[in-house]
Copies of this chain bind each other. A is one copy, B any other.
Amino acid sequence: MSEPLRIALAGLGTVGGGVIRLIETNAALIARRAGRPIAITAISARNRSKDRGVDLSRYAWEDDMVILGERPDVDVVVELVGGADGPALALARTTFEAGKALVTANKAMIAHHGLELATRAEAAKVAFKFEAAVAGGIPAIKGLREGAAANRIERVYGILNGTCNYILSTMEDTGRDFADVLAEAQAKGYAEADPTFDIDGIDAAHKLSILSSIAFGTAIDFRNVTATGIRRVLAADIAQADALGYYIRLIGMAETEVDEAGNRRLFQRIHPHLVHRDHPLAHVDGATNAVVAEGNFVGRLLFQGAGAGDGPTASAVVADLIDIARGDVGAPFSIPVSELDAAAPADTGHRRGKAYLRFTVADRPGVLAEITAAMRDAGVSIESLIQKGRAGEDSDQVLVAMVTHEGPESAIAEAMRLLEGSASLSAPPLVMHILEE
């Protein structure tokens, strides 16, 4: 058996503890599959004395985690600290400067600094891997970067945030409203005390920006991911979608297109969608994640599994380590950073599709006429219109939902503009795109 691959672990939270447990529990089979043992040599975390339920005494301790990257007894640094900047970024830079490989689960750092770090890794000819940063335990990056590598990827999309999917599918199962389910998820530890990153689609946007770079060979462009979260989805929307044969899911979607001037443009959006019940994403429930890649030869590939949690995330981290032990030092984003295409963001107005629109309106004559007139004036064709019951028990507001025929998104935006400031609407309309089978 060859020399062990020696790793240093920065960050001993849930995932860090999971990585230690995994490497200890499955040590023998990992060594067989990797062709050499994977051995933890040094660790670092903010608090040395905290009880983490694992014996840390056999590993060297560093108070300053950045030092891990410089230790001569370390081949790979595993960064599980989190945060786009700060110590995680300092550690990553130091690691590459010292000519060592880096494995991380830090989606925010990659979304913000991935190109800089990949450039450093490529210059140092060392591995830089981050399977755990996207969709937890699912080998989605490997699936795109290697499994689908022969294909021009036409679209990559999926369910990238387990907290949102848990909330939506619980709302679906129980008929309860968003705030209620969120509060329960927070109490159970499924959602953060400050749930903004999850609920507003920012976490999913981090992941999507990484996936689209690998899928399309474009430079990571997190800042131009348009993100709308799930705060405004009502139990009534879910019931209505169900009656129409759809499930509501927060979908991250990316595509490239060529504009009129012949330039490649990148479309990236996180948005709640109505997903047709015959689409595989419709049946992804609970905290599960799923990534779909559509290639010009392979067709539609789906990768599904646990999107978070210590075990699944540790599985992805150690899979990266096994790849490194086996000798994989490929380009982090599939092609060298210097060849990535800096595509400008796409204009979404000409995108065509069906949409679900829901209005919260005053219950008085003429309101429906006003809405439908705006649709007509904007050129939006209505496929079905449902005037529903009151918005709440004591409410004098009524919910009106409609599904449009397929048409350009610009027409819907125009209709929304026409209705802006209307006294009939007591809240901004909710627009959700429809993902057909």
**A121 CA to B304 CA, complexed, in Å:** 33
**A278 CA to B335 CA, complexed, in Å:** 39
Contact B283 A322 (CB under 8 A): no
Contact A312 B299 (CB under 8 A): yes
**A327 CA to B328 CA, complexed, in Å:** 8
**A25 CA to B295 CA, complexed, in Å:** 13
| A322 contact set on B, CB distance < 8 A | 146, 149-150
Digitize A306-319: 1 where CB-to-B-CB distance is under 8 Å, 0 elsewhere: 10010110111111
Nearest CB on B from A310, distance (A) = 8
The answer to whether the Cβ of A280 comes within 8 Å of any Cβ in the partner chain is yes
Chain A: interface residue count, which band?
Answer: 35 or more
Contact B300 A305 (CB under 8 A): yes
Digitize A45-56: 1 where CB-to-B-CB distance is under 8 Å, 0 elsewhere: 000000000000
Among residues 171 to 222 in chain A, which have CB atoms less than 8 Å away from a CB atom of chain B?
217
Given known A143-B139, A280-B283, A328-B328, contact A150–B304 (CB-CB < 8 A): no
The answer to whether the Cβ of A253 comes within 8 Å of any Cβ in the partner chain is no
The answer to whether the Cβ of A285 comes within 8 Å of any Cβ in the partner chain is yes
Q: Which of A27-35, A89-97, A356-364 interfaces with chain B?
A: A27-35
**A359 CA to B35 CA, complexed, in Å:** 52
The answer to whether the Cβ of A390 comes within 8 Å of any Cβ in the partner chain is no
| A425 contact set on B, CB distance < 8 A | none
Nearest CB on B from A91, distance (A) = 22
The answer to whether the Cβ of A39 comes within 8 Å of any Cβ in the partner chain is no
Nearest CB on B from A359, distance (A) = 33
| A330 contact set on B, CB distance < 8 A | 35, 326
Digitize A275-314: 1 where CB-to-B-CB distance is under 8 Å, 0 elsewhere: 0001010111100000000011111111111100101101
Instruction: Considering the complex, give the chain B residue whose CB is closest to the CB of A137.
Output: B298
| A282 contact set on B, CB distance < 8 A | 283
The answer to whether the Cβ of A383 comes within 8 Å of any Cβ in the partner chain is no
Chain A residues with a Cβ under 8 A of chain B: 18, 22, 25-26, 29-30, 32-35, 131, 137-139, 142-143, 145-152, 217, 278, 280, 282-285, 295-306, 309, 311-312, 314-319, 321-323, 326-328, 330-331, 334-335, 339
Given contacts A137-B301, A150-B318, 8 further A-B contacts (CB under 8 A): A33-B334, A149-B318, A283-B283, A297-B315, A298-B305, A299-B312, A302-B303, A326-B330
What would 23 A/B residue contacts be, using CB atoms closer than 8 Å? A25-B296, A26-B150, A26-B296, A29-B152, A30-B149, A30-B150, A33-B145, A33-B149, A33-B334, A33-B335, A137-B298, A139-B148, A142-B146, A143-B147, A143-B303, A148-B319, A149-B319, A280-B283, A280-B304, A282-B283, A295-B315, A296-B311, A297-B315
